[in-house]
């Protein structure tokens, strides 16, 4: 009987420990702020591009357009990668940045058709426009990947190659 009593005590201890762990996890998740949206289905992509063109022309910059959705793990990974890497974040300052949503709520078909349907490369996809809004590059981001993330050197080389100052020397 004694070994049975000991295992029953262990069982109850483990059960209480498990329940306490679930409660702690639930409290931690409830206290976390919701993940920030990067792509906005309700946004007017044409209007955002028009505003970016005006600002890019004034500041002598090119426009970098990230196309994807909040549903896309690689899209969110790329955004986080760009924001958390100081050197890449600095390189992005050379561009006017626009995020265009592609989701079941809003596929932004008219704008993407005008950009030669970059979604055919998968998501995320990057389009570079000059300050007049003319498309100068579409980048399939799979070529910038490494393992389960992105390669800093490849992304940096891409960003450096399409700046206003490099193209307009």
**Residue range 58-117, pLDDT digits in tens:** 999 999 999 999 999 999 999 999 999 999 999 999 999 999 999 999 999 999 999 999
Rg of the chain over Cα atoms, rounded to whole angstroms, equals 23
Mean pLDDT over the full length of the chain? 88
pLDDT value at 17 more than 70: no
Q: pLDDT value at position 31?
A: 46
What pLDDT band is residue 2 in, cutting at 50, 70 and 90? very low
For residue 123, give the nearest of 94, 108, 104, 101 by alpha carbon.
101
The rounded distance, in Å, linking the Cα atoms of 103 and 48 is: 17
The rounded distance, in Å, linking the Cα atoms of 169 and 166 is: 6
- pTM recorded for the entire structure: 0.80
16-35 average pLDDT score: 55
pLDDT value at 36 more than 90: no
Higher pLDDT, 32 or 132: 132
């Amino acid at each position: 009987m004694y070994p049975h009593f000991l295992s029953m005590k262990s069982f109850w201890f483990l059960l209480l420990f498990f329940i306490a762990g679930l409660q702690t996890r639930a409290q931690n998740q409830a206290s976390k702020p919701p993940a920030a949206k990067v792509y906005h289905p309700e946004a007017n992509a044409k209007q955002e591009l028009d505003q970016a063109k005006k600002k890019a022309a004034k500041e002598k910059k090119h426009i970098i357009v990230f196309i994807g959705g909040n549903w896309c793990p690689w899209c969110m990974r790329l955004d986080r990668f760009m924001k958390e890497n100081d050197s890449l974040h600095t390189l992005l300052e050379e561009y006017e940045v626009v995020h265009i949503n592609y989701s079941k709520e809003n596929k932004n078909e008219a704008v993407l058709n005008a950009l030669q349907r970059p979604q055919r490369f998968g998501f995320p996809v990057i389009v570079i426009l000059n300050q007049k809004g003319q498309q100068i590059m579409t980048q399939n981001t799979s070529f910038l990947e490494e393992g389960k993330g992105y390669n800093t050197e490849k992304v940096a080389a891409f960003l450096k190659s399409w700046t206003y100052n490099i193209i307009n020397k």
